[in-house]
């Protein structure tokens, strides 16, 4: 193995969880989850952030006490001066923690000091990767639609640590428009935070009653859960350094354990898949992007 | 329904006179029509060698063009180097990547680029089978040309040149009227079959819905490993 | 008194380029026939020779030519994109329209004198990101995302020192451009990497007698009753079921027409207006360009925007002023 130190990360909670649920989730992660890095912060909708604000300091402290590296995640689509101000405040108040940029505005703001570039910034190739690495990006979480060969080429540059989205519903699109509000007949400005009704996203079916996508406020996600448990070893050999698990309401401590066991060789791929199937519930798995197929597909080789 | 091409859309693209020729030649067996078609395509190729270059990324750019009101079909081998157009009684075994089927009038609109790329799919009159991407490519290739081959192509029909020119010259008006008649006739011919197919479609869909409901609850994580 | 807006028009083929130039385009934008541009549709776009001829035709008639190289090179295969930029410089296009940061960097380093515009695909929707592109790569114009209202555009223009270009007619992306993977999720073909969204090769129409179903990949995107106008099955304009409710959750099959807002857009400090539709035919280009030519000229003279009569172009689809009118959200 070229890289025995592959790390597990827990991505930012992408859904609108009740503030206390959100806090308790991170407390449990801090105390029990075998992950190396935890991202904290609102990446999807700036209107949600104030609810979590009172608990952020406690969450960060608890995570650090639990031996986790904490990264402050930031908004994927910055559209207002208020959102820009919040981004500046996060960058200035980071107090030694890394910040994850999810909009080019954040990349510009963080240039010159170490930072993470998140999956919502389009880093599709070596040229862009090197550009950001030369300006302080120490780690880049790749866009979800990159396939194996591209991931290989990116890791091969050794320009920065490479993180891959390894578990969870795939974030597929972000919009200025809120589809949760639209579905409930509400305007975005007076949305009543209806996205909190669906802590794993609102299921969207085709006219044939086939579950297809999920809606998470301004974000659209897959219905399937991407899982790259079977691909971990290969990616580690390519030089991928970090694997991201995206939080859901299922038992994320158990999910982390499955992935850790795969990394440590304590469980085989079939065992991992069976365990994850038991944790996730009804939704199918996908891994098509990695294999150069449709993102929705689950390819078994 | 046969609106004149807008003034800026330039002279007519090359394929429609050939098909019009086909209409004139309707009583003839395909074998008699073939020399004229071949001569016409040779003219197209000589004058505008780049016409089908836009399809060069397709492995076998073979299209079956089936004017349902003609009684014969055309096989277009849109090879960038050596395009050919063949008239046949049926398209069986022609190896087409896509079939475009519909009333001649609608096919002309498509092949003249007057059916918009997006609108192509909205039409209920055209049936596209096979590689829809290839059909879009064909439409774009034809829309991208600005040539007037009417007279030359008509000339290639030899003894039929007169009727071809005649049809083409008065084509728009005559065609619009003919088309109505043909569609009525066509509708009468296919309606019995169509109704049966439609009924089957409805039944199948009801069945599909039931299966989908069952399937949804049974849908499991993954396809079993082989 | 407002400045005269520049009219930037689409050309998918040489015939469309001629139609755009002849009908009064100030600039034509186009792409090479490969995955380096975001309209990589079958049978469309320009080879090098066609671009050369198109440049001669346009320049002889005082019309500029912009080359879109606005997809994101996939790691391991940058050469088609680099070659496109090199050829653009060699052939003498008036600017390249770029989205990828690595490619912006390449173009700025290798061809500093080649004018650079930022594509809408870069999704630069705030002053800080726009200023980043301007400072880092000497971007001279930014094509703004279709998610901003006129008020937001006006505010933005006060905080940036670069020309802005906005879409006024044609297809409407409801997701942030360049940040949407819906197409690749369902079809494997990506707007960002392959330059196609909901590609035709994955589209099927199935006539079921009393309704017609449109499918994209393995998914039913819409169904139409006998006389209902059908739409192209772009994923975000499909009909879906959420909590038992069947609806156009993302967007109705509408397209953008901001003709009535030209005075406000000029007032907001916009430099150029963009017409979408490189995949449409030359007849579409001729009609839309000549209509907007009249409108832009009228507005520049302080007159009201004239009626454009473009209804026949939209195949029964509805029109919207999109996000320019903030109630859209």
Q: How far is B79 from chain A (nearest CA, A)?
A: 30
Distance from C-alpha of A74 to C-alpha of A87, rounded to nearest angstrom: 7
Is B109 near chain C, with CB under 8 Å? no
Contact B216 A210 (CB under 8 A): yes
Sign of CA dihedral C253, C173, A84, A195: positive
Please give the class, per CATH, of domain B7-181: alpha beta
Give contacts of C255 with chain B, Cβ < 8 Å: none
> Nearest chain C Cα to B205, which residue?
C208
Q: Is the pLDDT of residue B159 over 60?
A: no
DSSP state for residue B111 in the 8-state scheme? H
**CA angle (C204, C205, C207) in 5-degree steps:** 145
- CB-closest option in A210, A211, A298 to B222: A298
In which region does residue C241 sit, left (phi positive, over 0), alpha (psi from -120 to 50) or beta (all else)? beta
CA nearest to C103 within chain A: A127
Q: What average pLDDT does this structure show over A11-21?
A: 97
Does B13 score more than 90 pLDDT? no
Mutation to test the A interface, candidates B209, B222, B224, B225, most A Cβ within 10 Å? B222
The answer to whether B128 contacts chain C (CB < 8 Å) is: yes
CB-CB under 8 Å, B8 with C282: yes
pLDDT at B158: 53
Here the tokens at position B76 are: 């277009």
| CB atoms B221 and A280 under 8 Å | yes
In this predicted structure, what is the pLDDT of residue C295? 95
Residue B195: its pLDDT value, please?
38
Q: Which of C43, C187, C195, C315 to mutate to probe the B interface, most B CBs <10 Å?
A: C43
Q: What is the pLDDT of residue B110?
A: 67
Residue-level pLDDT at A291:
98
What is the band of A139 on the pLDDT scale with cuts at 50, 70, 90? Answer: very high
How far is it, in rounded angstroms, from Cα B5 to Cα C63? 25
A131 close to C (CB below 8 A): yes
User: C45-83 pLDDT, tens per residue?
Assistant: 999 999 999 999 999 999 999 999 999 999 999 999 999
pLDDT digits (tens, 9 = 90+) for B20-31: 555 555 556 677
Q: For the residues of C207-245, what is the DSSP string, one character each?
A: E-SSEEEEEETTEEEEEEETTSPP----GGG--EEETTE
Q: Residue C268's pLDDT is what?
A: 95
Average pLDDT of every residue of chain A: 96
Q: Are B43 and B153 in contact (CB under 8 A)?
A: yes
Subunits in contact with chain C (3 or more CB pairs closer than 8 Å): A, B
pLDDT at res. A114 = 97
Q: Given the structure tokens 């005082």, which residue do they identify? A: C62
pLDDT tier for residue B79 given thresholds of 50, 70 and 90: confident
DSSP C126: S
Domain residue limits, chain C: 6-172+254-328, 197-247
For chain A, domain boundaries: 7-171+224-286
Superfamily of domain C6-172+254-328: Aldolase class I (3.20.20.70)
Least CB–CB distance from C43: residue in B114, B136, B197:
B136
- Position C171 scores a pLDDT of 85
Q: Is C11 on the interface with B (CB under 8 A)?
A: no
User: What pLDDT score was predicted for residue C310?
Assistant: 79
Q: Which residues of B touch A282 (CB under 8 A)?
A: 219
Mean pLDDT check: name the lowest of B2-16, B161-175, C103-117: B2-16
Domain boundaries, chain B: 7-181
Chain B residue closest in CA terms to A223: B221
Whether C316 has a pLDDT exceeding 70, the answer reads no
> Given this model, what pLDDT does residue B10 score?
38
Interface partners of A (3+ CB pairs, < 8 Å)?
B, C
CA distance C219 to chain B (A): 13
Helix (H, G, I), strand (E, B) or coil at C252: coil
Half-sphere exposure of B158 (CA within 13 A, CB side): 9
Rounded percentage of chain C residues whose pLDDT exceeds 90: 72
B7 close contact with A: CB closer than 8 A: no
Confidence band for B192, pLDDT divided at 50, 70 and 90? very low
Pairing between strand C318-320 and C254-257? parallel
| A161 pLDDT above the threshold of 80 | yes
- CA distance to A158, B9, C105, C214, C311, per residue, from B4 (Å): 62, 10, 49, 30, 17
Rounded average pLDDT over C93-107 = 98
Model pLDDT for residues A201-240, shown as the tens digit of each residue: 999 999 999 999 999 999 999 999 999 999 999 999 999 9
Write out residues 5-34 of C within 8 Å (CB-CB) of A.
none
**C280 falls in which pLDDT band (50, 70, 90)?**
confident
Q: Please tell me if residue B216 touches chain A, with a CB cutoff of 8 Å.
A: yes
How far is residue C50 CA from its own chain's centroid?
21
In whole angstroms, how far apart are CA C238 and each of A212, C216, C224? Answer: 12, 10, 11
pLDDT class of B164 with cuts at 50, 70, 90? low
Neighbour subunits, B (≥3 Cβ pairs < 8 A): A, C
SS3 A267: coil
Instruction: Name the residue facing A284 among B212, B213, B221 (closest C-beta).
Output: B221
CATH number for region A7-171+224-286:
3.20.20.70
DSSP 8-state assignment for residue B4: P
Q: What is the edge-to-edge ordering of all strands in the sheet holding C219-225?
A: C203-207, C211-216, C219-225
pLDDT of residue C56: 98
- Under the banding of pLDDT at 50, 70 and 90, the label for residue A248 is very high
Give yes or no for B124 touching A (CB within 8 A): no
Buried b (16+ CB within 10 A) or exposed e, C200-216: bbbbbbeebbebbbbbb
Quick: pLDDT tens for C117-156: 999 999 999 999 999 999 999 999 999 998 888 999 999 9
Residue B194 host element (H or E): helix B171-218
């Amino acid at each position: 193995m070229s890289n025995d130190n592959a790390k597990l990360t827990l991505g930012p909670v992408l859904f609108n969880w009740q503030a206390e649920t959100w806090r308790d989730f991170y407390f449990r992660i801090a105390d029990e989850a075998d992950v190396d890095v935890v991202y904290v912060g609102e990446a999807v909708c700036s209107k949600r952030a104030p609810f979590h604000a009172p608990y952020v300091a406690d969450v960060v402290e608890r995570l650090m006490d639990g031996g986790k590296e904490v990264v402050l995640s930031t908004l994927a689509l910055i559209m207002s001066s208020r959102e820009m101000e919040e981004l500046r405040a996060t960058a200035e108040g980071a107090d030694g923690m890394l910040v994850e940029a999810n909009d080019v505005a954040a990349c510009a703001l963080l240039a010159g000091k170490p930072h993470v570039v998140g999956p919502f910034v389009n880093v599709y190739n070596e040229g862009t990767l090197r550009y950001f690495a030369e300006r302080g990006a120490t780690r880049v979480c790749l866009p979800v639609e990159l396939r194996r060969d591209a991931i290989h080429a990116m890791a091969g540059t050794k320009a920065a640590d490479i993180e891959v989205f390894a578990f969870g519903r795939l974030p597929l699109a972000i919009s200025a428009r809120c589809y949760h509000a639209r579905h409930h007949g509400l305007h975005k400005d007076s949305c009543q935070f209806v996205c909190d009704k669906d802590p794993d996203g609102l299921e969207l079916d085709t006219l044939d009653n086939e579950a297809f996508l999920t809606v998470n406020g301004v974000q659209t996600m897959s219905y399937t859960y991407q899982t790259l448990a079977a691909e971990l070893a290969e990616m580690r050999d390519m030089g991928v350094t970090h694997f991201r698990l995206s939080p859901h309401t299922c038992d994320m401590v158990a999910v982390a354990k499955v992935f850790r066991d795969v990394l440590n060789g304590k469980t085989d791929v079939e065992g991992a898949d069976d365990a994850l199937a038991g944790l996730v519930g009804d939704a199918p798995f996908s891994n098509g992007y990695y294999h150069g197929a449709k993102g929705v597909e689950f390819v078994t080789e | 329904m046969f609106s004149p091409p807008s003034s800026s859309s330039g002279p007519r693209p090359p394929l429609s006179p050939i098909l019009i020729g086909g209409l004139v030649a309707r009583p003839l067996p395909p074998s008699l029509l073939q020399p004229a078609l071949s001569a016409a395509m040779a003219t197209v190729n000589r004058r505008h060698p780049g016409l089908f270059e836009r399809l060069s990324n397709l492995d076998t750019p073979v299209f079956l063009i089936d004017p349902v009101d003609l009684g014969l079909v055309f096989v277009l081998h849109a090879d960038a180097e050596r395009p050919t157009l063949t008239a046949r009684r049926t398209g069986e075994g022609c190896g087409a990547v896509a079939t475009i089927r519909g009333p001649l009038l609608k096919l002309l609109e498509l092949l003249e680029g007057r059916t918009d790329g997006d609108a192509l799919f909205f039409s209920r009159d055209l049936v596209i089978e096979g590689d829809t991407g290839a059909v879009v490519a064909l439409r774009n290739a034809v829309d991208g040309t600005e040539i007037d081959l009417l007279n030359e192509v008509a000339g290639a029909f030899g003894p039929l040149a007169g009727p071809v020119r005649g049809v083409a010259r008065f084509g728009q008006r005559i065609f619009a009227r003919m088309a109505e008649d043909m569609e009525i006739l066509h509708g009468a011919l296919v309606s019995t079959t169509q109704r049966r197919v439609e009924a089957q479609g409805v039944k199948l869909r009801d069945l599909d819905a039931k299966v989908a409901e069952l399937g949804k609850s049974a849908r499991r994580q993954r396809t079993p490993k082989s | 008194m407002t400045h005269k807006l520049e009219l930037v028009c689409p050309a998918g083929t040489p015939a469309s380029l001629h139609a755009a130039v002849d009908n009064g385009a100030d600039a034509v934008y186009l792409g090479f026939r490969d995955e380096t541009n975001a309209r990589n549709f079958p049978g469309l776009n320009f080879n090098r020779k066609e671009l050369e001829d198109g440049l001669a035709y346009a320049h002889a008639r005082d019309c500029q030519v912009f080359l879109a190289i606005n997809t994101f090179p996939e790691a391991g295969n940058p050469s088609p994109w680099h070659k496109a930029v090199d050829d653009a410089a060699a052939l003498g296009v008036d600017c390249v329209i770029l989205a990828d940061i690595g490619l912006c960097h390449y173009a700025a380093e290798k061809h500093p004198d080649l004018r650079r515009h930022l594509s809408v695909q870069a999704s630069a929707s705030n002053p800080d990101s726009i200023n980043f592109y301007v400072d880092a790569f000497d971007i001279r114009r930014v094509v703004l995302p279709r998610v901003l209202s006129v008020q937001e555009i006006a505010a933005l223009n006060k905080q940036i020192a670069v020309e802005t270009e906005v879409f006024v007619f044609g297809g409407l992306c409801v997701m942030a451009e360049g940040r949407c993977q819906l197409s690749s999720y369902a079809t494997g073909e990506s707007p960002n990497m392959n330059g196609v969204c909901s590609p035709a090769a994955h589209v099927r129409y199935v006539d079921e007698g009393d309704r017609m179903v449109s499918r994209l990949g393995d998914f039913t995107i819409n169904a139409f009753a006998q006389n209902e106008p059908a739409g192209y099955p772009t994923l975000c304009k499909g009909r879906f079921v959420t909590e038992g409710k069947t609806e156009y959750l993302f967007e109705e099959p509408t397209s953008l027409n901001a003709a009535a807002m030209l005075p406000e857009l000029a007032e907001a400090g916009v430099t150029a207006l963009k017409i979408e539709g490189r995949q449409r035919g030359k007849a579409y280009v001729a009609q839309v360009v000549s209509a907007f030519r009249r409108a832009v000229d009228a507005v520049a003279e302080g007159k009201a925007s004239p009626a454009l009569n473009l209804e026949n172009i939209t195949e029964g689809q509805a029109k919207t002023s999109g996000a320019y009118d903030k109630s859209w959200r």
